[in-house]
């Protein structure tokens, strides 16, 4: 017997009908590589959150498990105490409407791109990206320090700071998806520095009325999401959960910022400048993140295979040097969803293979211009 009285050896066999009975909030089973696990109690301790793992209750989670866990041998020590059995030999490996042929072809593709080294990050790429963020920050301050705080220079300073913040946002996203370093702990450590000190913190809001976003998008979304909503949400999470390390990183950003700009603008001016920078950044962040998702059919989960589900919920924006930089390579949103741990500089290399897979199985692969992506959000 294992933790909480759960078996540590697969002694029982189950049908999909039995597994699917266990999908309530307090009773959750899932399947990974035909092994059946009881995650009812452990889901609350899942590093990615209980909602993410609970989403697969009563289902096969193999594809999602493979996509998000770089060191599967390490994860096995957490899975072993939760193991209660396996699928009966007569049961298929997939449940529901999942297409076995697509799943097999995608697994073959994922194995091949891993062999081809497309999951290996290029340190120089991320070093140059971080360098250009720091240069923008330094040049923005030096410009107003040397030439003065006229309206024109202040506006230019705000644009440069908003650009550095937006680009830092894409960089923290890379570390958050464990796509830079081989070791997860290094990704987490640098992620805290980038998101905390360089960016003041930004977390996904889980309790927004997204099904009504068409009614508040232009009022709340682009103008207020980053400067107001994210700030309040971050403070609430850090204080209520006593995340003092995160709070220290958060405060370090403001200590650095006000130390630089209060001598030039005074307290009120520095606060106003920061709010304006956040206002500009918020528009950038919201429009880029929504152009791949908002126009898509994401209102209902239909328990499809990993590839079909991601292609229904996302679309791509055409590749160009500007589009790649402007969106942090999230113009390749399809590839990012399919391979969330892949370094973004390799998305364009795997994209033709993904498109070929979609063509083979008759799955729609949507590619738009940047302008079309923006206008589709409004439409």
pLDDT exceeds 90 at position 159: yes
Lookup result for tokens 């289902």: 59
What mean pLDDT do residues 219-248 have? 71
pLDDT exceeds 60 at position 6: no
pLDDT exceeds 50 at position 170: yes
Nearest partner of 287 among 169, 140, 176, judged by Cα = 169
DSSP conformation class of 132: H
The more confident residue out of 257 and 237 is 257
Please report the pLDDT score of residue 5 as a whole number: 40
Nearest partner of 198 among 114, 129, 290, judged by Cα = 129
The more confident residue out of 5 and 68 is 68
Please report the pLDDT score of residue 1 as a whole number: 35
pLDDT exceeds 70 at position 228: no
Separation in Å, CA 178 to CA 71, 171, 173, 339:
11, 11, 9, 11
What mean pLDDT do residues 51-66 have? 86
Distance of CA 223 to the CA centre of its chain: 22
Lowest mean pLDDT among 155-169, 234-248, 305-319, 330-344: 234-248
Q: Given pLDDT bands bounded at 50, 70 and 90, which one contains residue 95?
A: confident
The more confident residue out of 365 and 189 is 365
For CA atoms 114, 119, 123, 124, the dihedral sign is positive
Nearest partner of 340 among 105, 190, 52, 119, judged by Cα = 119
> Does the 13-96 domain belong in CATH 3.10.120.10?
yes
Q: What is the mean pLDDT of the chain?
A: 84
Beta strand pairing call for 12-14 and 83-87 = parallel
Give residues with Cβ within 8 angstroms of 179, minimum separation 6: 121, 187, 340, 341, 342, 343, 344
pLDDT exceeds 80 at position 101: yes
Please report the pLDDT score of residue 96 as a whole number: 73
Lookup result for tokens 């930089």: 325
Lowest mean pLDDT among 116-125, 152-161, 199-208: 199-208
Q: Given pLDDT bands bounded at 50, 70 and 90, which one contains residue 153?
A: very high
Distance CA 107, CA 118 (A): 15
What mean pLDDT do residues 350-354 have? 97
Please report the pLDDT score of residue 9 as a whole number: 46
The domain limits of the chain are 13-96, 124-292, 306-378
Q: Which residues of 123-159 are buried (b: 16+ CB within 10 A; e: fewer)?
A: eeebeebbeebeebbeebbebbeeeebeeeebebbbe
32 membership: H or E segment, kind and range: strand 27-32
Distance CA 22, CA 373 (A): 40
DSSP H stretches of helix in 82-122: 100-115
pLDDT exceeds 80 at position 198: no
Q: Across the chain, which distance is largest between two alpha carbons, in Å? A: 76
pLDDT in tens, 277-325: 988 988 898 888 888 876 666 555 566 788 988 888 889 999 999 999 9
Nearest partner of 37 among 66, 64, 69, 60, judged by Cα = 60
């Amino acid at each position: 017997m294992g933790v909480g009285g759960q078996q540590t050896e697969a002694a029982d066999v189950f049908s999909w009908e039995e597994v699917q009975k266990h999908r309530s909030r307090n009773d959750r089973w899932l399947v990974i590589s035909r092994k059946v696990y009881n995650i009812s109690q452990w889901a609350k301790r899942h590093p990615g959150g209980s909602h993410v793992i609970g989403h697969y209750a009563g289902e096969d989670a193999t594809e999602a498990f493979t996509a998000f866990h770089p060191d599967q041998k390490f994860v096995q020590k957490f899975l072993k105490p939760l193991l209660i059995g396996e699928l009966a030999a007569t049961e298929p490996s997939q449940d529901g409407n999942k297409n076995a042929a697509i799943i097999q072809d995608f697994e073959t593709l994922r194995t091949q791109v891993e062999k081809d080294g497309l999951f290996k990050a290029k340190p120089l790429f991320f070093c140059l990206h971080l360098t250009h963020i720091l240069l923008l920050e330094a040049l923005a301050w030096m410009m107003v320090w040397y030439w003065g705080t006229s309206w024109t220079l202040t506006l230019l300073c705000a644009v440069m700071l908003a650009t550095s913040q937006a680009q830092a946002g894409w960089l923290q996203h890379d570390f958050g998806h464990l796509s830079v370093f081989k070791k997860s702990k290094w990704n987490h450590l640098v992620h805290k520095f980038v998101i905390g000190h360089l960016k003041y913190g930004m977390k996904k809001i889980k309790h927004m009325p997204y099904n009504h976003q068409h009614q508040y998008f232009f009022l709340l979304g682009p103008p207020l999401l980053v400067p107001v909503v994210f700030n309040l949400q971050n403070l609430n999470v850090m204080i209520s959960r006593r995340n003092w390390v995160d709070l220290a990183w958060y405060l370090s950003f403001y200590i650095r910022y006000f130390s630089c700009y209060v001598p030039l603008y005074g307290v009120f001016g520095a606060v106003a400048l920061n709010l304006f920078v956040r206002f500009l950044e918020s528009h950038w962040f919201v429009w880029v993140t929504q152009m791949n998702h908002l126009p898509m059919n994401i209102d209902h989960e239909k328990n499809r295979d990993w590839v079909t589900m991601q292609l229904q919920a996302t679309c791509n924006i055409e590749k160009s040097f500007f589009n790649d930089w402007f969106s942090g390579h999230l113009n390749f949103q399809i590839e990012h969803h399919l391979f969330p741990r892949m370094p973004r500089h390799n998305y364009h290399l795997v994209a033709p293979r993904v498109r070929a897979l979609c063509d083979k199985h008759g799955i729609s692969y949507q590619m738009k211009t940047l302008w079309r992506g923006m206008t589709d959000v409004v439409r």
